[in-house]
């Protein structure tokens, strides 16, 4: 019998002073059986830091990246179905990132984990032609601290100022300083 996804519901209260964006988002996220809390929370972080200010070019949605090979973790499609944003989580290979860059207006990757520097050194020079690709690293300790906030039902306050992100559940707070590796 196959394992089923676990459903997480989160209310994100976003105050992004860097983008002058203040909004509340109620999201439902399916966690694949092979996914851990750290990766789930990095997906939520990527959503919060990539969500558009308005829906005029479509909404940012959670896709089936772990289930479907042709889908990212997050994507934004405009009303014609054209891909505006393609967002990967983890450490995909260079071919997948180049494909994402070619298929969408903007592509991003949010890498996490202690092996990120090794992964990045192996593919960085292969991605130079992807002009619309941005690669972020969430430092391993900060991603692990985010994982401690994971609950089946979450209410998170996310504050962004000068590139620093604070994620709080009302009881504990985690400071995240994403590092831009490319873009």
Tens digit of each residue's pLDDT (9 = 90 or more) over 169-180: 999 999 999 999
Measured CA to CA, the distance from residue 96 to residue 25 in angstroms comes to 29
What are the pLDDT digits (tens) for 154-167? 999 999 999 999 99
Helices (H), the chain: 37-50, 94-103, 116-123, 140-147
Residue length of the chain = 183
Q: Is the pTM of this model over 0.85?
A: yes
Q: Options 3.10.640.10, 3.40.50.300, 3.30.300.30, 1.10.1050.10; which CATH number does 6-182 get? A: 3.10.640.10
In this model, does residue 5 exceed pLDDT 90?
Answer: no
In this model, does residue 103 exceed pLDDT 60?
Answer: yes
User: Is the separation of the CB atoms in 146 and 125 below 8 Å?
Assistant: no
Residues 6+ apart with CB under 8 A from 99: none
Averaged pLDDT for residues 140-155: 98
Distances (CA, A) of 125 to 14, 43, 68, 74, 119: 35, 25, 27, 25, 12
Total Cβ atoms within 10 A of residue 174: 21
Using CB atoms within 10 A of its CB, is residue 171 exposed (0-12), middle (13-18) or buried (19+)?
exposed
What pLDDT was estimated at residue 87?
Answer: 97
Averaged pLDDT for residues 63-86: 89
Residues of the chain with pLDDT > 90: what percent? 90
Domain ranges of the chain: 6-182
């Amino acid at each position: 019998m196959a394992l089923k996804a676990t459903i997480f519901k989160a209310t994100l209260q976003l105050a992004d002073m860097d983008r002058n964006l203040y909004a509340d988002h109620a999201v439902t996220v399916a966690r694949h059986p092979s996914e851990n809390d750290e990766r789930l929370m990095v997906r939520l972080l990527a959503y919060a830091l990539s969500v558009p200010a308005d829906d005029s070019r479509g909404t940012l949605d959670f896709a089936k990246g772990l289930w479907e090979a042709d889908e990212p973790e997050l994507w934004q499609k405009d009303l014609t179905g054209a891909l505006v944003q393609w967002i990967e989580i983890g450490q995909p290979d260079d071919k997948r990132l180049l494909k994402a860059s070619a298929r969408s207006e903007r592509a991003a990757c949010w890498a996490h984990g202690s092996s990120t520097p090794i992964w990045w050194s192996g593919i960085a020079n292969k991605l130079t032609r992807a002009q619309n690709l941005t690669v972020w690293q969430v430092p391993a300790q900060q991603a692990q601290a985010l994982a401690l906030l994971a609950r089946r039902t979450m209410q998170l306050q996310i504050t962004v100022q000068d590139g620093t992100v604070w994620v709080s559940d009302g009881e504990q707070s985690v400071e995240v300083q994403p590092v831009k590796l490319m873009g």
